[in-house]
Amino acid sequence: MRGNRLKGGVPALAQACFALAIGWLLIASPALGQAGGGRERIRISDDWRFARGDPAGLSVDLRYDVRPKVERTADGRIADAEPEEAAAVRRAGAKVLKPWILPTANPFIADPAKRHVRPAGHPGGDVSYVQPGFDDSAWQRVTLPHDWAIEGPFLEEGPYGGMGRLKSWGIGWYRKALDIPASDAGRSIFLDVEGAMAYATVWLNGKLVGGWPYGYNSWRLDLTPYVAPGGRNQLAVRLDNPPESSRWYPGGGLYRDVWLVKADPIHVGHWGSFVTTSEVSAASARVDLALKIDNRSDREAAVEVESRIYALDENGLRIGKPVARIAPVSLPIAPNADARFAGSARIAKPRLWGPPPTQQPNRYVMVSTVRSNERVVDRYETPFGIRDVRFDPDRGVVVNGEHIRLNGVNNHHDLGAIGAAFNARAAERQLEILREMGVNAIRMSHNPPAPELLELTDRMGFLVIDEVFDVWERKKTPLDFHLIFPDWHEADLRSMLRRDRNHPSVILWSIGNEVGEQYTGEDGAKIARRLVSIVREEDPTRPTTTAMNYARPEMPLPAEVDVININYQGAGVRTLPGQYAAFRAKFPDKVIFESESASTLSSRGEFLFPVSGSVSGPVRPGSGGDPETRHVSAYELHSADFGSSPDREFSAQDQHPFVAGEFVWTGFDYLGEPTPYYSSRSSYSGIVDLAGFPKDRFYLYQSRWRPDLKFAHILPHWTWPGREGEVTPVHVFSSADEAELFVNGKSQGRIKRAPFAYRFRWDYVTYEPGEVKVVTWKDGEPWATATKTTAGPAAKLSATVDRSRIDADGRDLAFVTIDVVDAEGRIAPRSDAMIRFRIEGPGELVATDNGDPTDMTAFPSARRAAFNGKALAIVRAKTPGRITLIAEAEGMTAGRASITAAAARR
């Protein structure tokens, strides 16, 4: 029985909990305890060895499981096609590793009767690659995070567009020697993997430890039984990334950080701290701590736990003395068992966490100290935030009493030219660009993100939908997650929840995206109920949702979640009319918003003629798209078949004011899924291109999401040799309510914004070289002016770096934008000049890009053609010193950017 519903459409108990403010999880090495005890968390990034493929003559089956036989399928599957039933698989007689891997899931399986018993033995232990004595000196030396596919080359032939035209699939091996000192004898030692793509299997010293199939989740293995303290320990990791397993570029390899954790046998368990807050007001807030303590020794332990709370500054450093304290509590723990500790405290005048610009993302840290026999055995830090989040069906999302409209985007996990290998600075740059546009919310599409990304959203104050699966039991690609969903859905969901439930930025759990079970009636709803029940067991403080592109209000699935998320249905999908009103009528007590909106397509700076007179339409040859060049018009009027322009989306939302907001598909272009041209490398749906350069659409969203920002943006550019005398429509994006356009001083007309109109259009302007200018007004007062001027011949390169100082830690990055400009410094908007990059000083060129979805030049190349006047170089420091990036092109003055690399700040 689900209980009575309160305002917001959730069970009474859960509704009460939605008001709780919650924190975020361990992000750095906690302080160590006294000698002989305490915790160490060591990032093991350097000096890995890597090789593709299994050793020759392999006689043992190292597969996780038997897979369906797949013939190579055609590219260009319709993005919103109905998922299919799973294929039957014959497993009789197969000697696969699944029985040895499944026990890794046991800590996340609630019913002891359903936990897995590991068979005896260590399959694969005789394989040469796992042996400590194997000579791997000829293998590639790599640093983690590592994406084995991103360096290319691109696959220009064959049906590989969906997965990004980079060969991410296949077998890969990683080896690393771990020096475990004799002093670690008696300690618990763990391997924490934040992400490995995919079907990971781990051996230590020739012994099979365990693994994890799902490539996007974080997981832990207990190395303790297999460690030999006092010498070299050989770690070997095998990954098996299937082909036809993804609808986008998944990357390959150990693409997130890997950690070695050393702890006393008595310690806080894995993701064993959960901080919630309630009764939040300006005067005080209650902070509750639930802590799980493990005793991995063979003796009963008497344990004392105390916790202190500190404020954190914007860099995550403690401020002053504790602001509150949870009094010490003693409890016994049986041998090889665990115990649960709970305590609470009050913070006076709390500094609340909330989204800028009207609120600040203030944070605290809970420092829990564990003692046994008067000895500190563990000290565990749990950063968190205090905030009150409510879901109101009429107002939408309310944070700390303030209505926050969701100005959100979806993002896939790749970081453009550096691929799936997570890099904190690259992710931070993306968030900075999105914030400039007015974004305040991110949907993690369609998988658990890198934990460091949530640390960034915590610090920067973004609201987050954390999503776990793209499929359940029905498949979208032949070898996707549906193969392991029956065995692993509970473990994968619980692990994401436990890892992420302390992050204040996370406000909503999504259990799936456009799953095939939308089509299966009550059978699909039953799976949804199971997943929702798991969420409520792990975290009763946040509501649940699933993104629906097919399910209608009268179907069983929408009733199972707390918040209604619809993909494209708000404005209407193809011939289906908008569904906001229908969902509202069926679920008047639930918050409704669009979890995927628009899917507008465009190539930055590519303006195709003639220009449609309509406000929205699908891309077609000669109407928004050019199949020969594989580009889509930057007038921002055309979309995927199931989507629409921003203008149409805005209109649908404004006519239904109960809608809580939207998450646009997508914030950034991403590798793979290049609708409508699957011979390209990357998508067209981003508001920002793959290199991080805003498309014209950026300013349309900015005019809506930052209505107080005084600006006007003109499109297209005004350099069109050969178009003299031809109709060249001019559009303007601005939050003004009136605008007048001039071409070389001649007025083209003054326009007042019409109801449900979101751009100013002059559709019959005749091109002539010179200057186009717009003047705007708002509420009868001058608002903003803007001009576009015809550029002369390309004459020089201008280099601009995003930050002039970076850390010389081998991880920090500088992003250098190269503009091709004329003699007067005006960008040459049609230039495709070939640019050569070189580095002087202690730096290296990581990658180059230009945002062109059709460019098949490998990302590490030091030669890159400009795309419509722009290119990008990514630079990393090797050691401290002065780095200069030099960009050169035939017949042009070179561009130079200076970067100071300093010793990393601690």
Active site residues: 514, 596
Secondary structure of 387-436 in HEC code, one letter for each residue: CCEEEECCCEEEECCEECCEEEEEECCCCHHHCCCCCHHHHHHHHHHHHH
Select from 189, 687, 87, 93 the least CA-distant residue to 436.
687
Q: Are strands 895-902 and 881-888 parallel, antiparallel or unpaired?
A: antiparallel
Task: Tell me 717's DSSP state.
Answer: -
The 3-class SS string of 804-827 reads CEEECCCCCEEEEEEEEECCCCCE
Q: Which of 46, 426, 417, 446 is nearest to 257 (CA)?
A: 46
The per-residue DSSP string of 456-503 comes to: HHHHHT-EEEEE--S-SSSBSSTTSGGGTHHHHHHHHHHHHHHHHTT-
For residues 44 and 53, what is the distance between their CA atoms, to the nearest angstrom?
Answer: 23
How many whole angstroms separate alpha carbon 618 and alpha carbon 738? 29
Q: What is the dihedral of CA 132, 138, 144, 146, to 10 degrees?
A: -130
Strands of 584-712, DSSP E: 592-598, 617-618, 620-621, 624-626, 631-632, 638-639, 661-665
Phi, psi of 604 (to 5 degrees): -55, 125
Q: How far apart are CA 420 and CA 450, in angstroms?
A: 10
> Is beta strand 406-411 parallel, antiparallel or unpaired with respect to 441-444?
parallel
Q: Give the helix ranges, DSSP H, for 666-739.
A: 697-705
**Contact (CB, 8 A) for 505 and 354:** no
- One-letter identity of residue 335: P
**Whole-number Å distance between alpha carbons of 720 and 724:** 7
- What is the dihedral angle through the alpha carbons of 682, 687, 689, 691, rounded to the nearest 10 degrees? -130
CA distance readout (Å), 728 to 33, 307, 740, 747 = 70, 67, 16, 15
Report whether 648 contacts 617 (CB < 8 A): no
User: Is 864:837 a contact under the CB 8 Å cutoff?
Assistant: yes
Alpha helices in 214-371 (DSSP H): none
Task: Return the half-sphere exposure (C-beta side, CA atoms, 13 A cut-off) of residue 226.
Answer: 23
CB atoms closer than 10 angstroms to residue 117: 8
Backbone dihedral angles phi then psi of residue 762, each to the nearest 5 degrees: -120, 95
DSSP string for 581-597: HHHHHH-TTS-EEEEEE
At how many degrees (to 10) do helices 485-500 and 451-460 cross?
40
Give 616's DSSP letter. Answer: -
Residue 69 CB neighbour total at 10 angstroms: 9
Helix (H, G, I), strand (E, B) or coil at 67: coil
The H or E element that residue 535 is part of is helix 522-538
Residue 870's DSSP bridge partners are 819, 867
DSSP secondary structure letter of residue 385: -
Containing 659, the helix (H) or strand (E) segment is: none
Q: Among 309, 321, 311, which Cα is nearest to 368's? A: 309
Residue 644, both tokens:
């629409």
